[in-house]
Chains A and B, each alone.
Chain A
Amino acid sequence: MTATVRGERDTVGLAPPGPGRPWHARLLGPAAFTAIAVLALVVAPLALEPFRLGLLAKYLCYAIVALGIGLAWGQGGMLTLGQGVFFGLGGYAMGMYLKLHDAGGHLPDFMVWSGVEKLPPLWVPFGNPVFAIAFAVAGPVLLALLLGTLVFRQRVRGAYFAILTQALAAATVILLVGQQGLTGGTNGLTNFFDLFGQDLAADETQRGLYLVVAAVLGLLYLVARQLVRSRFGRLLVAIRDGEDRVRFLGYDPATVKTVTFAVSAGMAGLAGALFVPVVGIISPALLGVVPSLELVVAVAVGGRFSLAGAVLGAVVMGYAKTSFSEQFADGWLYLQGALFILVMTLAPKGLLGLAARARDLLPSRRRA
């Protein structure tokens, strides 16, 4: 009669460690985090040549976005295919500031080429770096709050939510491309020279930027991890696995999802703002449907149910994309698609899930 017990969903694996675990197991996470932090903040800047360090900084920017996706999708079950929009919002905010700063009171170069004669009112506040950086986070957060309130209250979810966010990404690109004089059109905003009095082309500046990106990522990781392990995080997982049931626990899933979505959007916005001085450009091609999807794929490959997996996926896939594209220009798309299918069918928990499974196998063998 009650044969519809929901499938034996894997309950072992990446569940967060409870207080019942032995001390060495509990120290494993912090130890790994410290090791990676030292590697990223001390070893990498010394060992990598500037070009490679710049690439790593770019991947780490993507990793910040991935962290947000891990939170929204991995934990909360919201498959957001439009994180590029938030990333772009942050990127353009930063880009606008840099353009205005470089122009030094004149019109930014691309506006002159487009025949714009007076600085558009929309641009005026972005001359202030504090406003620009604040907007890079607050803009995406507010947009996500608005979107979440409208969408989640109406109980739009699953594929419908995914399609909606993807449509948002597509629409944003059209909007940006169409407003040549305001946004730089297809070219976007580029040719930046100076950041807070530092030459952006200098290795020193780039190294400093890399350190900032790495530190921000580490900090946000800790914040996200705290959130995941809190009651809020447990609630998020509960909503992912049984939203309708959560209502009968007295919570409004729409509020929880909206807040989470906003946090992930804020992360993407901040990542965008960091990305612009690191890479030197923000354009529609960097935030449309394809880049948004690529990040979701990266999170899936790394392991979406764990924040570390999301970060790992973004770095690994970013690195793989660069090195693979250096040899076979068009091959990457196919490899990426194949990887995604492979992961989704064979290892739904991604690389990190595989690692955890390997770890689980070892001691049991020893005991046997």
Chain B
Amino acid sequence: MHISEGFLSPQVLAAGWVAAGVGTAIGLKKLDPDKIVRVAVFSSVFFLASLINVPIGPSSTHLSLLAPMGLVLGWSVFPAVLVALLLQTVLLQFGGLLVLGVNTVNMALPGLIVYLLFSSRVRRGNAASSFAAGFLAIMLGALGVGTALSLSDPEMAGAAKVVFAAHLPLALVEGAVTFFMAGFLKKAAPDILN
């Protein structure tokens, strides 16, 4: 899901920073100061969870948890993702600083979209919506990655399609994890989803 340094054109990088800046500004404005610690703790949980490798067929992948993050954090997903990605860049050298804006948009926007589309249904315990939220968030993220690559260089258009298709198994896994996680939270701590 991360785009590394060197792939994107300056125009796409600049557009990514503008979009991430707008999203983060709105997210921070809507963030109640009393909830900052909660957002920070959740952000760190998602940061750490994304480092866990989960077997998928003969291979393994790491979870992105875009949908659970969106469903739990709402608009705060933008600052939370920006901070988590900045820490990943500084501590682990995943992604990069120039591409931080584009990566933030690619990961936070799908989270926000699934929050706006599915949060009320997930809160009511609709299992299909939980799965759909997890699946859709990953595919939207992959679409964002593909679009950024295609816009940067027309020669990358074919590779962008490969990237999009390669995210399909991960989307199914994320759909399943979101489905089970939403069910668990609905039973054990429904206030977290509110």
A associates with B: no
Binding site for B on A (CB under 8 A): none
Binding site for A on B (CB under 8 A): none
